[in-house]
Structure 1
């Protein structure tokens, strides 16, 4: 039966009943006209001017619909540098579908991609750890506890690996260099809570094959022999063949299947290829026979046997001679982490009929080289990207519909003749004015379509979601609009009244985020609950967070399980942090996820000792927000209770997020100078700037903006440390030493523990400065802890600590003046941080005067030291671990100090309030709800 060509035909029914269907629009428009004006208008023929105008507007709508119906790549194309700009706005398949290595197959892909690596395998590094179950002094050690009076237990450290490598035989590759590159690649792609201990050359188990084969009469015996040896070698130790992008597409794979795994340099490796090249557990005679019989030229196998190669009495060999795996004539078992290889003592004899066949060894070598060259060429492919649809840029510009009417209407670009009557000119102007309304609506639609690219992007400079464009090309438009010079401004004012930028921008960003199956609902709700009184500032922060999240999504998506590279310098003030840390930061609105100093005393509770002749000495407290050389805000009053000062400061930190709460006030003195104050919802001053006054409002406004900028940076200058416990394991020395004094071991006599007895495997310690505006709030802490548990890989256990207190300064120095009598001229003073004030301008006391006239009292609070200690010891540990001379292992001293500071930390809570469900005013307080609030976790 012949196959007929199928031809594309134009359908007879082209009615779409939408904006692309001119007839549908015309019929709908005429129906509206009939419904509205059937009593005064009965002529609906095509010659009627009203029908003509309606048809023209229908045409304009179909023009708009056709432009909207363009492929999205056309709508977002750019007139210049389209390739670069398209890749800036969208993530290509290579960048968004790939990920850093996660599985053993992923790591094999990464290492096989290195020149000189024929194949490689990951194996668990066996490192036993022994525990002595003493209730009072539990210990762990790398050596067994012999003759111990307590029960003991053996643990296996998890997360440590050994890489076994089968090196290429090419002499241009140096094994030591390849091993160094494997370590480098691994630490650039290390998984969270895992580490690579060693890279070893795979040991070989040589297999001897002895066979006699009957060949076809016309067979090329040299080629057959070379092919048999090559194919048997591939069975024992198969090469991993790479694929080009075209070959992957030809296999029928989807784009997400093609780009699964890490980005490589030499083509695509499929999981199926890697699974076929796993280390063999056994070698079967039946498999070898099947391979030989499939080779062209082989007629039959007359005799064949396999066994382990006998030990050589002399000469170098890669074969392991001490094989203990059991074997029989049909199956040879392979030792663990060994690679089977064809032994040079194998014998292959060939016959044609009854006559034995000799081999030309030079020809055999030539055929072997051809087979090996072809195999090597199959691994030299490129890792190409799918082409980005670039689209075709077309200018989306609206031209007035008035020029499409017949010229006898008098409103075309040529206008009317000077000889027509004024009445005729006026009627034409009236028609122009009537059509201008439709022109403006259509022009605005076209303008919005032109900005599609901007709206569907993470553009942080975007300040509007409605767009306006004045109608161009209308003759005499200045006569149609009474205040034409303000025409554009007036229409923009109308647009501004429609604009709800925050709501619309959030909807657009939520749409973009939802395309990655991500949500920000929990974060948004928590921010509104925490800073509900500062809506605009909260919404701006949420929009900023979403923009940054979308921009960096390729990184935080592909690196979500990635650990940081502890071999890379610098180790501090760097963005070299774990992918998990980056993801958590961007999901929770942390502007800066770098590893840096987090402890500071910019937000403090100052301890004041007030001394008067009349009242004696008493302690008061005052909160301050300050830099090294300036106090930006200070409390309006002093508090007799430190907790009262803290409570007001927490309220201040919420008010400070709303820029409208920063106001300028004037002094009551004759100079009437300006100063900066922070007010609450009732307009009452809750904090102000002392000793900084400004003569003009302009200068004061500049300083107000500087204050806002400083405090904004301070409020959201948050971060956290993530410490992988496995990095503190001294497996290089296998000496625990005094580290047991700092490990969180909790054991009874039966070696049962209230936490996992293994303090290293798959555990992280996450440390937050618990005194910032958000981190001191119970609701935000609950949100962060839920987020961490949801995003952290399921096999990793987190310990979350909120360290430090809002008190700020760790060492509080109280200076007390020595006052002998009132004649000294000092009768009522407040002393704080070397400053003396009697409600007059502050002056600094010189060191000599201070030494002579003041006594000093130092108050230390150990719980306040936690954040400072962990910061100091974490920094020292990383510096020690990054030393190449030390084998990238931290010193015993640095490790102990870090472990001690980690396991002596205490989570500090701000004073909470039991929440009355009927008290709406308590919504923004640090609420504790019985049976619902979780006060910390291990």
Structure 2
């Protein structure tokens, strides 16, 4: 059997502590001296000035080492507002180790934490859908297809839940208010592709226990009876005991185990306790006997039996249900999703010796109240945080070593006497200059140590990773340096030449990210490979992305499976989006993950209606990038099809990311004025400004910079929509209706409905496919791989890269059919020409038409053919916004109208992915980078 290699690990402590060992440093320094100068220097005793200086420098190194060796909380502490600053530097255990609910146990913790909830359970909501397997016209319905000539199948929609609640019997709690609180709490913590249908009071199955118990002679029979009833009740329906932080630590649990799950208000609940309080499947007589025998004062059980309590018909009792579960004398089977409770028809009889024992019911009630009060008090704890290590701040300042030499060296802060010779003064200055080098090296180290807090943070304002500080306190330093006034500046220039800020900052950020077991390697490589022509811009983007990722890591980590809360009143221009969207955005460099308008009218295809004698009425297209009052770029020609205009526009959006592609050109007119143009790699003008000319080159350059900024802001306004299919299921009406027209129902060739469920655990992810990055096929592949890697494994994504350009156009074609002007056609966009037909035929010029008038001419032969609506970003955005507005209405029960749902379902299931023009390349051809290369047998055009 082969021996497996041991795992390679990074040691937690890589320091050899040599910098703290003065003797080691002294011996190593003396050895270097001996090797370098043994022919001319043989006196290595401590009285030698060279040895003295060496020892002093060794001491300075140990001082630096001791400061480096301080606890990290000391190095990053602040002189002011240290508590707040430390919480900015680090995430506390409560904020970084907890997460939004994922499992059923997590959700139970969340709801049991609500006052008035004794216990609760999640049950799968049964909602069957029926399918008719008609290949030509498949359908789904809430009602069975009876009498259909096609095969039919049924399936249950997944991801819907019912919450069963065991309410606290305290009268201060109102059940309706508790149910509303549960709905609110659930939707604040709803998981992707899941929804809560109803909250119900858990149905109860009443168990009758009849027993006769022999007591000890000294037993308090009232206390024994109250304890037996309480403990048996806890066995059937246990309440949960919360723990304080101290109690959790006393269990010797690690901090990640203590804070596992959601943040609560009333103490910590352990998974073990929740598992023990699951709804029982059966009640065993042996368990009840064991509980009774463990109570103090019980001697033996003379007789005992259990069975189901006979139902009552008064309508007020919890025991009026009909139980069908099989049972016997030893085991009572519990109905599914039922809670067993002790029946009021149970009988408990007690004896001491041969004599029966009577009970004082008032004393029994007192003992029962004490037990219940103790149980309730055990649930009222606080959810405390682990204390943040605050550290002790100490100012890190370097003091020159020159002041620590004996005064007879003449370089202390007192200097030399005025009576000494000039030669002695010169020698002192030489020693000062010699030691200044060591001073500056040590001072620079101290300066870096002082900035540890900044370097190990996601500080977006940080512009350097090397730090320099001039040495202070040296007498006559201005005489030691040739250009003392520029001393600080000159050394800083040296530091700047040494520093590669982007590389070092990325290494530091990678270190911080690695502490969360996260990596950015794929994103970094993708950005460099696809958009590396503007290296500084790409590096800044990567650094900013990492900074934001670290700053918001507590959110994107704990909320990675969270859905948005559709019960909030405001659903647009909001950060109320799924945790998955936030995480994907911060992993892919999206500046803004809010739900907002992704379509804008700044980038558009202009539709031009033309009329010529040869072609008649036709439509041409021109792309534009514009503001409300200015066209910044426009195509140089008109296109006969919209797709041709879109193709060139996608190329333009890629070229527009490189400011070197914006050039100034001069008109051919006599004025020779300047205008702004966009050129491709070959220098060919692909777009330009019209009707905006500038007399001077300086003015044109100013406008060129303004154009670059305007377009740059547009192109990086990236985002995406995530639509959960389950939210479009109209289970509240029980009617699918016209949604069948748009649902993606696929039947295989055999006519069976395999995997036809269009609602369960599916999301539709919609990107604007026209931005500079999103129009690149390789970047799309990166994004799709990232989505599939980060999306919960049980959820299936449909990813689409839709177009920007609005559709719903009307095309008018010339045909040999004569249109009757009295036919009632009202949506015809062609009206009578302004010029007469005779004049038009004579000039053979393009006629101008008035649009929108119901004016017809019998001499014209036109027919009307309407395009289908293009399901682009504008159309999808409009219907997604309308759907959310409809669904967030409290008056509508937080369910969208059928009309809004249908429009959204049709929009997302009829949209198409758009592609920029690709080029065919060989597998080994590296020149095709960033050119949407297509490699045969290795390319996939998106995912639908």
Task: Please report the TM-score for the alignment, with normalisation by the length of structure 2.
Answer: 0.89
- Quote the Cα distance in structure 1 between the aligned partners of 2:615 and 2:180: 74
CA 1:637–1:878 in structure 2 vs 1: closer, same or farther (change >3 Å)?
closer
Match of 1:428 in 2: 428
Matched, 1:295 2:299: no
Q: Which moved more, 1:740-749 or 1:872-881?
A: 740-749
Give the deviation of 1:625 after TM superposition.
2.6
Aligned-residue offset at 1:368:
0.5
Distance in 2 of aligned mates of 1:831 and 1:418: 103
**Which residue number in structure 2 is paired with residue 656 of structure 1?**
656
Contact 1:98 1:558 in 2 (8 A): yes
CA contact (8 A) 1:153 1:751 kept: no
Q: Residue 458 of structure 2 contacts residue 547 of structure 2 at CA under 8 Å; is this kept in 1?
A: yes
Q: CA RMSD in A?
A: 3.4
Tell me the secondary structure at the aligned position of residue 625 of structure 2: strand
Structure 2: how far apart are the matches of 1:787 and 1:331? 52
Which 5+ residue runs of structure 2 have no aligned equivalent? 1-14, 812-828, 854-861
Secondary structure of 1:930's counterpart equals coil
- Whether the 8 Å contact between 2:592 and 2:718 is mirrored in structure 1 is yes
Stretch deviating more after TM superposition (366-375 or 132-141): 132-141
Measured after TM superposition, the shift of residue 917 of structure 1 is 4.0
> Offset of 1:690 from its aligned partner?
4.7
Q: Does 1:331 align with 2:331?
A: yes
**Cα distance between partner residues in 2 of 1:262 and 1:670:** 74
Alpha-carbon separation, structure 1, partners of 2:491 and 2:863: 68
Write the distance in 1 (CA, Å) between the matches of 2:907 and 2:642: 27
Report the CA distance between 1:867 and its aligned residue: 2.1
Match of 1:937 in 2: 943
1:911 corresponds, among 910, 914, 917, to 917
Write the distance in 2 (CA, Å) between the matches of 1:93 and 1:40.
62
- Residue equivalent to 1:182: 182
Residues 579-604 of structure 1: per-residue CA shift (max 9 Å, x gap) = 11111111111111111111224234
The alpha-carbon distance between structure 1 residues 863 and 473, as it changes in their structure 2 partners (threshold 3 A), is farther
1:523-534 equivalences in 2 (<5 Å): 523-534=523-534
Q: Give the alignment of 1:846-925 within 5 angstroms.
A: 862=868, 864-925=870-931
Match of 2:802 in 1: 803
Say how many residue pairs are matched. Answer: 901
Matched-pair contact (CA < 8 Å) for 1:877–1:894 = yes
User: What aligned pairs does 1:345-424 form with structure 2 within 5 A after superposition?
Assistant: 345-424=345-424
What SS is found at the alignment partner of 2:418? coil
**Partner residue in 2 for 1:123:** 123
Partner Cα distance (2:362, 2:339) in 1 = 28
The Cα offsets for residues 183-226 of structure 1, whole Å up to 9 and x where unpaired, read as 00011111111111000011111111111111111111111111
**Residues 309-363 of structure 1, C-alpha deviations (whole Å, 9 max, x = no match):** 1233657312233111122111111111111111111111111111111111111
Using the TM superposition, give the Cα deviation of residue 626 of structure 1 relative to its aligned residue in structure 2, in angstroms: 2.1
Q: Quick one: structure 1 residues 238 and 713, their matched pair in 2 at CA, closer, same or farther if it must change by over 3 Å?
A: same
- Does the CA-based 8 Å contact 2:281-2:333 persist in structure 1? yes
Out of 923, 933, 944, the residue aligned to residue 927 of structure 1 is 933
Given the alignment of the two structures, is residue 756 of structure 1 paired with residue 762 of structure 2, yes or no? no
1:139 aligns with 2:139: yes
User: Would the aligned equivalents of 2:99 and 2:558 in 1 still touch at CA under 8 Å?
Assistant: yes
By how many angstroms is 1:410 displaced? 1.0
Match of 1:47 in 2: 47
In structure 2, the CA distance between the partners of 1:741 and 1:604, relative to structure 1 (3 Å rule), is: closer
Q: CA deviation at 1:276?
A: 0.6
Q: Is the 8 A contact 1:537 1:659 kept in 2?
A: no
Question: CA, structure 1 residues 267+477, in 2 after alignment: closer, same or farther (shift >3 Å)?
Answer: same
The 5-angstrom pairing of residues 720-759 of structure 1 reads 720-748=720-748, 751-753=751-753, 756-759=755-758
What's the CA shift string for 1:543-582, capped at 9, x where partnerless?
Answer: 1111111111111111111111111121111111111111
Q: CA deviation at 1:904?
A: 1.1
Deviation at 1:789, TM superposition (A): 0.8
Q: For residues 613 and 157 of structure 1, what CA distance do their matches in structure 2 show?
A: 60
| Structure 1 pair 644–895 and aligned structure 2 pair: CA distance change class (3 A) | closer
- Partner SS state of residue 921, structure 1: coil
1:67 aligned onto 2:73: no
How far apart in 1 are the matches of 2:643 and 2:875?
24
1:37, 1:204 → 2: CA distance?
A: 95
Counterpart of 2:9?
none
Write the distance in 2 (CA, Å) between the matches of 1:674 and 1:407: 74
Q: The residue matched to 2:363 in structure 1 has which SS?
A: helix
CA distance in 2, matches of 1:412, 1:608: 86
Structure 1 range deviating more: 297-306 or 22-31: 22-31
Q: Write out aligned runs for 1:450-849 (5 A).
A: 450-605=450-605, 623-634=623-634, 649-659=649-659, 688-692=688-692, 703-748=703-748, 751-753=751-753, 756-804=755-803
What is residue 3 of structure 2 aligned with on the other side? none
Q: Is the 8 A contact 1:602 1:627 kept in 2?
A: yes
CA offset digits 1:424-453 (Å, max 9, x no partner): 111111111111111111111111111111
Q: Bigger CA drift: 549-558 or 622-631? A: 622-631
Deviates more, 1:530-539 or 1:650-659: 650-659
Higher mean displacement: 162-171 or 34-43: 34-43
Distance 1:531 1:646, change over 3 A: farther
Equivalent in the alignment of 1:238: 238
Aligned pair 1:162/2:162, yes or no? yes
Distance 1:422 1:830, change over 3 A: farther
**Does the aligned pair in 1 maintain the 2:124–2:160 contact within 8 Å?**
yes
Question: Following the alignment from structure 2 to structure 1, what is the Cα–Cα distance between the partners of residues 50 and 610?
Answer: 88
SS at match of 1:200: strand
Q: Distance in 1 between matches of 2:637 and 2:492?
A: 47
Deviations 1:368-420 (A, max 9, x none): 10100000001000011111111111111111111111111111111111111
How big is the shift at 1:41? 2.3
Q: Does the 8 Å contact 1:242/1:379 carry over to 2?
A: yes
Shift of 1:632: 2.7
Please give the alpha-carbon distance, in whole angstroms, between the structure 2 residues aligned to 1:636 and 1:498. Answer: 48
After TM superposition, give the deviation of residue 471 of structure 1 in Å: 0.8
Q: Does the 8 Å contact 1:193/1:764 carry over to 2?
A: yes
Work out whether residues 242 and 380 of structure 1, in 8 Å CA contact, stay in contact via their aligned partners in 2: yes
Contact 2:222 2:364 in 1 (8 A): yes
Does the 8 A contact of 2:213 with 2:349 survive in 1? yes
Any idea what SS the aligned residue of 2:286 has? helix
Tell me, in whole angstroms, the C-alpha distance in 2 between the residues paired with 1:212 and 1:724.
Answer: 59
Q: Give the secondary-structure state (helix, strand or coil) at the position aligned to 2:211.
A: strand
Tell me the secondary structure at the aligned position of residue 886 of structure 1: coil
Instruction: Decide whether the 8 Å contact of 2:237 with 2:341 is kept in 1.
Output: yes
Q: Quick one: structure 1 residues 621 and 120, their matched pair in 2 at CA, closer, same or farther if it must change by over 3 Å? A: closer
In 1, are the aligned partners of 2:467 and 2:495 still within 8 Å (CA)?
yes
Residue pair 2:871, 2:912 contacting (<8 A) in 1 also: no
CA drift at 1:36: 2.2
Partner of 1:250: 250
Residues in 1 aligned to 2:214 and 2:328: alpha-carbon distance in whole angstroms? 25
Gap runs ≥5 in structure 1 = 1-14, 835-844, 849-855
Q: For the residues of structure 1 that align with 2:446 and 2:115, how far apart are their CA atoms?
A: 55
Q: Distance in 2 between matches of 1:68 and 1:712?
A: 44
Aligned partners of 2:100 and 2:562 also within 8 Å? yes
Report the Cα distance in structure 2 between the residues aligned to 1:24 and 1:937, rounded to whole angstroms: 64
State the alpha-carbon separation in 2 of the partners of residues 154 and 625 from structure 1.
Answer: 51
The Cα shift of 1:736 comes to: 1.3
